[in-house]
Chains A and B, each alone.
Chain A
Amino acid sequence: GNSVTQMEGPVTLSEEAFLTINCTYTATGYPSLFWYVQYPGEGLQLLLKATKADDKGSNKGFEATYRKETTSFHLEKGSVQVSDSAVYFCALRASGTYKYIFGTGTRLKVLA
């Protein structure tokens, strides 16, 4: 079946550090891939997406590249800020389905 595997958190970094949150997936066909972010007490917000192999999604300094050969969609940011502290969810939508499948989430804490 379709699934998403994320690195476990929490991830604690100092401000301006480099961030990588790993995400790999299992899916049939050509899924669309997403990163969502959830701030405390709020709903999930789309951070970025990629719909085909080698696409790079980017937003607010975050980037992720759709790698079909490694079935990965790792999230990166060159210099994190305290305001980036949140839970990050990797997700996929398999082609031909309506259902979005989420990873277990990775909590990021950035210290000043």
Chain B
Amino acid sequence: AAGVIQSPRHLIKEKRETATLKCYPIPRHDTVYWYQQGPGQDPQFLISFYEKMQSDKGSIPDRFSAQQFSDYHSELNMSSLELGDSALYFCASSLVGGYPSGANVLTFGAGSRLTVL
């Protein structure tokens, strides 16, 4: 079965640089979520999109922005990178309001590890 695809898997940047992470949700899923997980931390919700519109916003810094495109893939753009931005960034998708047992459940990608030097 198709899963959530994230790219790149690993990314190394210098401080003050810009990074872009991509996420391809499971086909027919209508909602995409971005989470940030620092070392030994729980995933922190950043932002979500439902049907290409921003649906919820969490602890996302103003330096970060995200969008969901017409093909439902999403991109997380991070500018003026700081050392503290080093983390695993997970994308997840779900089918909101679906009834089957597999719906309404977050499915995560393998994550993109960002290292800021």
A and B: interacting chains: yes
A25 proximity list for chain B (CB < 8 A): none
Q: Is the CB of A43 within 8 A of B111?
A: yes
Q: Which of A16-24, A66-74, A98-106 contacts B (4 or more CB under 8 A)?
A: A98-106
B100 to chain A, nearest CB (A): 12
Complex Cα distance, B34 from A36, in Å, reads 16
Q: Is the CB of A100 within 8 A of B108?
A: no
Give chain B's interface residue range (CB within 8 Å of chain A): 20 to 34
A98 proximity list for chain B (CB < 8 A): 31, 33, 48, 50, 55-56, 96
Chain B residues 1-40 with CB under 8 Å of chain A are: 4, 31, 33
Q: Is the CB of A43 within 8 A of B42?
A: no
B90 proximity list for chain A (CB < 8 A): 43-44
B96 proximity list for chain A (CB < 8 A): 98
Q: Is the CB of B56 within 8 A of A44?
A: no
Q: Which of A42, A93, A98 has the most chain B CB atoms inside 10 A of its CB?
A: A98
Q: Quick check: is A45 within 8 A (CB to CB) of the other chain?
A: yes
**Given known A-B contacts A43-B90, A43-B110, A43-B111, A102 and B50 have beta carbons under 8 A apart:** no
Q: Quick check: is B107 within 8 A (CB to CB) of the other chain?
A: yes
Interface residues of B (CB under 8 A from A): 4, 31, 33, 41-43, 45, 48, 50, 55-56, 58, 90, 92, 96, 104-111
